[in-house]
Amino acid sequence: MVVPVIAALGRAQPPSADQGELWEGFFAERFAGPQRTFAQRIFANSGVTRRCAAVSPLIEDVSDWPTSRRMQRYMVEAVPLGKDAVSRALASAGLRADEIGMFIVCSCTGYATPGLDLILARDLGMAPDTQRLFIGHMGCYAALPGLRAAADYVRVHQRPAVLLCAEITSLHIQPFGARMTAEQIVSHALFSDAAVAVVCTPGGTGYAVQSVESLTDASTADYMTWDLTDTGFRMSLSVKVPDVLAENVRHLVMPTLAGHGITDVRHVDGWAVHPGGPRILTVVEQQLSLPPNALTPSRRTLADDGNCSSATVLLVLDRLMRSPQPMRQVAMLAFGPGLTLYSANLASTS
């Protein structure tokens, strides 16, 4: 049977800025009184040191832009970023764009028709018969169902597939004032921009996609939302999200590991966990009884890159794959609206 393998990753990010610089240079003056004190504490405790922004608030303030203008800018920024990420991944895998059988794009930060998938397929020189799939509005966990779709295509058609996660969160800074909620302040302190592409091939050297599983607690669907408004997309994030993860993460991860003969989390060599925030990582660490430093790659990704929505877990995986330490078994975890938890198990083929 054909084994789908992650053969290469490619990442592309716009210029970054220091978290303190973003606070002092833009956000601080948008708050007053107790709200400013609260917001400053959120920024300081976010776990983020630097963030990337295609639309930097230090250069231009988009907080009052209408959604139509933001969507036009989304394509201006996302196309070159996505093209760069895919080109890097293809070069690393030693493949041409016209050899790709399926192209999957995940994004929850912008929409257009013709979409990012079609424009990039055309500009990169993919073949006319390349199948395309756009996965929208799934949020931070979208990379894993995207990976599942890519792996299934490779398994059935025995042709390479490419997955791209491209997010321009910097376009969705909300209007400031009394209506600014605590949840929106948290999102302004965490989110960042990035594009990461994955090349999945039939066999070869890399990481075999063994399984992708999910679990959804639909009773908490309103705990995390990404609402379309006249001024961009507005994030709502309940403080109860880590509690829901605490209740569910073992129920997803442990049976999945056991299905691959892994009964002890210490036998997993690398953990690529979506760093939705510091508390989320602490909850996962505690509930799974992970070894010390198991989530260091996730914490470093949060610090260096911020939360880039769907692209983030792939940034963590890229960090793991670049590690000089051999990784035989890798577990991936990502969380998002639903509340939905996704996991993937990877095994080295080398």
Strands 329-336 and 270-273, bridge-based pairing: parallel
Strands 193-202 and 4-12, bridge-based pairing: antiparallel
User: Do 156 and 223 fall into the same domain?
Assistant: no
CATH number at residue 256: 3.40.47.10
Task: Tell me the H-state helices in the chain.
Answer: 19-22, 33-44, 67-93, 116-124, 143-157, 182-190, 241-258, 278-287, 296-305, 312-321
Q: Extract the tokens encoding 130.
A: 């390349």
Q: Residue 77: its pLDDT value, please?
A: 98
User: Do 197 and 219 fall into the same domain?
Assistant: no
User: Do 214 and 334 fall into the same domain?
Assistant: yes
User: Do 39 and 170 fall into the same domain?
Assistant: yes
- pTM of the predicted model as reported, rounded to 2 decimal places: 0.96
Q: Residue 217: its pLDDT value, please?
A: 93
User: Do 312 and 298 fall into the same domain?
Assistant: yes
Query: What's the domain count of the chain?
Result: 2
Active site residue 165: no
User: Do 192 and 76 fall into the same domain?
Assistant: yes
Given 202, 230, 259, which residue is the final one in a domain?
Answer: 202
User: Do 100 and 231 fall into the same domain?
Assistant: no
Secondary structure element (H or E) that encloses residue 348, with its range: strand 340-348
User: Do 159 and 120 fall into the same domain?
Assistant: yes
Residue 186 belongs to domain spanning:
4-202
Given 167, 202, 237, which residue is the final one in a domain?
Answer: 202
Catalytic site residue from 140, 165, 200, 308:
140
Q: Residue 182: its pLDDT value, please?
A: 87
User: Do 39 and 157 fall into the same domain?
Assistant: yes
Q: 5 near 350, Cβ under 8 Å?
A: no
Given 202, 218, 244, which residue is the final one in a domain?
Answer: 202
Residue identified by tokens 């991860």 is 253
pLDDT per residue over 180-200, tens digit each? Answer: 888 889 999 999 999 999 999
Average pLDDT across each block of 10 residues of the chain; the chain has 350 residues. List them in order: 95 97 96 92 96 97 96 98 98 98 98 95 98 95 98 98 98 88 91 98 97 95 90 89 93 93 93 95 96 96 98 98 91 95 96
User: Do 65 and 110 fall into the same domain?
Assistant: yes
Q: Residue 245: its pLDDT value, please?
A: 93
User: Do 88 and 109 fall into the same domain?
Assistant: yes
What residues have CB less than 8 Å from 272, skipping those under 6 apart? 297, 298, 313, 316, 317, 320, 330, 331, 332, 333
User: Do 193 and 212 fall into the same domain?
Assistant: no
